[in-house]
Structure 1
Amino acid sequence: MTRIIERLSQIGADYDALFCDLWGCLHNGKQPYPAAVAALQDYRRGGGGVVLMTNAPRPHPYVIAQLDRMGVPRDAWDLVISSGDAAQQAMFAGAVGRRVWHIGTVKDDGFFDDIPPEWTDAPPITRVPLEEAEGIVATGPFDEDNEAPDDYRSRLMAAQQRGLKMLCANPDVVVDMGERRIYCAGALAEFYEDLGGTALYFGKPHPPIYERARRQMELGDDARILAIGDGINTDIRGARQEGIDALFITGGLAAQAFGPDVENPQPELLREWLAHHHQQPEFAIGRLR
């Protein structure tokens, strides 16, 4: 049975580290949630470590720069790990070839241009038109304000017929940018699989991003870790697959499902919704605080 809590401090002392999602938990894409920032600061003052674990398709320095611009203080976290970090490593290793068709916006150029030191001597990755590509790298739609996966049907059907693999740099399907909901690379990857194509994933809920976080935080097999997130199929499913506890933020992506008060989910609605999704996180809270 999922326990609804009022504050992170009720359970924080039971864990050595937090793997905390960003969008919908720490910020809304435009500004941070002050109560969430304060909760992470308090947890760190108590001796715990905080990994901000995001499915953002950009390498972590770009995520840190975004957090700085939003005004998220650096004493609220120890480490930032992004889906872009893990996916970038796979791309430079040649997972989808070295001539790739990139689906995404200019803001994701760092995924290609900021080459990790260990790959500086590797053959270059070149972005080319679809007709010349050996594989696909998806960081998000070209126009995230107006496009949906079906807008890519003809191009992705052609790619599937050629047997091209898609590297998905962000397994999220949608995120909320303020009051606006936009599609992510995960929606394109799922659509491509529905067409018969092959997609490779590296963010939550898939193992590489968790392995990277454990290694960089020097967390042993016996470390007590709590995953925090609002994505039932990414944050919560990923935690279950990794064998770690989870705190589900009900006031994020699925906020409308749990009653009119975002801060206080209705227990019966939460129970029914979780049963429908076949997930049972240890804890739930309206908003991180």
Structure 2
Amino acid sequence: MTRIISSLAEVSASYDALFCDLWGCLHNGKQPFPAAVAALQAFRAQGGQVCLMTNAPRPNQYVIAQLDRMGVPRDAWDLVVSSGDAAQDAMFAGAVGRNVWHIGIEKDHGFFTDIPDAHRDAAPIRRVPLEQAEGIIASGPFDELNETPEDYRDRFQGAVDRGLPMLCANPDIVVDMGETRIYCAGALADFYQSLGGTALYYGKPHAPIYDRARALMGLGPDARYLAVGDGIATDIAGAEAQGIDSIFVTGGLAADAFGPDVEQPDAGMLPEWLGSQGRAPTFAIGRLR
């Protein structure tokens, strides 16, 4: 039975480290949530480690730069691990070939140009037109404010017919940028699979991003982890697959399902909704605080 809590501090003493989602938990794509920042600062002050774990399709240094621009203080976290980090490893290893068609916007180009030291000697990855590609890299729509997966039907069907695999650099389906909901690469990959294509995933809820985070945190085998997120199919599903406890932030992507007060999820509505999703997070909270 999921327990509704009013603050992270109620349960934080039982854990050594947090895997904390960004969009919908720490910020809304435009500005940080002050209460969430304070909660992470307090967790670190008591000796815990905070890994900001995001399905952003960019290497972590670009995510950190975005957090700095928003004004998220550095003392709220210890490290940032992105889906882009894990997916980049797979790309340079040749998971979808060396000549790829990239679907995404300019801010995601660092995925290709900022080559980690571990891959300096790898054969180059070339971005080419779809008709010349061996595979597809999806970091998001070309026009994230206006396009939907359906806009890609003809191009995707042709790629499926050719047997091109797709590497999805961000498994999220949607995120909220301020008050605007936009499609992510996960929606494109899901649509590609519905047409018969093959998609490869490296962010939440899949294991590679968690493996990378634990390796970087360097905690012992008995460390107690807690995942925090608003994505029931990514953050919470990933935590369950990893066998770790979780806090479901109800005031994020699914806020409309739990009553009119985003800060206080309706205790009568929560169990039925979670049951419909097939998930059982350890805790739930309106907003991270």
Which TM-score band applies after superposition, normalised by the shorter structure?
over 0.9
The answer to whether structure 1 residue 19 and structure 2 residue 4 are counterparts is no
Partner of 2:55: 55
Distance 2:145 2:63 in 1: 20
Equivalent position SS for 2:158: helix
Alpha-carbon distance, 1:193 to partner: 0.3
Distance 1:132 1:220 in 2: 47
Partner of 1:39: 39
Deviations, residues 61-104 of structure 1 (Å, cap 9, x unaligned): 00000000000000000010000000001000100000000000
Partner of 1:153: 153
Distance 2:174 2:219 in 1: 30
Distance 2:220 2:242 in 1: 13
Partner of 1:200: 200
- Note the 1:79-158 alignment, pairs <5 A: 79-158=79-158
Partner of 1:4: 4
In the alignment, structure 1 segments of 5+ residues that lack a partner are: none
Distance 1:114 1:219 in 2: 28
Give the number of aligned pairs.
289
Deviations, residues 158-195 of structure 1 (Å, cap 9, x unaligned): 00000000000000000000000000000000000000
Normalising by the residue count of structure 1, what TM-score does the alignment of the two structures yield? 1.00
Indicate if the aligned counterparts of 1:214 and 1:220 stay in contact, CA closer than 8 A.
no
Equivalent position SS for 1:87: helix
Deviations, residues 197-239 of structure 1 (Å, cap 9, x unaligned): 0000000000000000000001233210000000000000000
Equivalent position SS for 1:284: strand
AA aligned opposite 1:105: I
Distance 2:167 2:95 in 1: 8
Equivalent position SS for 2:145: coil
Runs of 4+, deviation exceeding 2 Å: none
Percent identical pairs in the alignment equals 73
Partner of 2:239: 239
Distance 1:57 1:104 in 2: 9
Distance 1:123 1:237 in 2: 35
AA aligned opposite 1:210: Y
Distance 2:74 2:92 in 1: 30
Deviations, residues 97-117 of structure 1 (Å, cap 9, x unaligned): 000000000110000000011
The answer to whether structure 1 residue 70 and structure 2 residue 74 are counterparts is no
Distance 2:126 2:95 in 1: 14
Indicate if the aligned counterparts of 1:40 and 1:77 stay in contact, CA closer than 8 A.
yes
Which of 212-221 and 159-168 deviates more?
212-221
